[in-house]
Amino acid sequence: MSQFLEVGHTLRSGDKVEIHIGPATYDLTADAARQVLVYGSFQEIYKEVPQVTLDGSGREVGGFVTLSRTRRSVTVKLKTGRPGRLYLINAEALRDVMRGKIPRATVSEVVFAPGSGKTPAVA
């Protein structure tokens, strides 16, 4: 069993999507977000798009954005900063943000329960 904790939000800013997780902001170009939403699970090909951010320290932090197999959620995984954490954004909400229908979408962190067979996301 896993829980979902709200840890941030995403919004559109010009030609990019900003993913805010805690104090860090991750930038994803609008074109890359469209590729993930349109082609992310086409024929079981999961589109991974490298991300960069300036987390206040001036260094770039990378990660990946993928579309789930069910096409219901977008998964954000970070390589550095907070590695091992899994963040989810509702795919339809992200599409609505991209289209300007809603101003922001919630970013949730998946927290696995002890004994679930999964590695705990939060220590």
Q: What percent of the chain has pLDDT over 90?
A: 15
Query: What one-letter code names the amino acid at 69?
Result: R
CA 51, distance to chain mean position in Å, is 10
Say if 122 falls within a structural domain: no
Total domain count for the chain? 1
Say if 118 falls within a structural domain: no
The range of the structural domain enclosing residue 28 comes to 2-112
Say if 65 falls within a structural domain: yes
Residue 45 has pLDDT above 60, yes or no: no
In 3D, which of 108, 102, 114, 92 has the Cα closest to residue 20? 108
Residue 54 has pLDDT above 80, yes or no: no
Query: What one-letter code names the amino acid at 51?
Result: Q
Residue 105 has pLDDT above 90, yes or no: yes
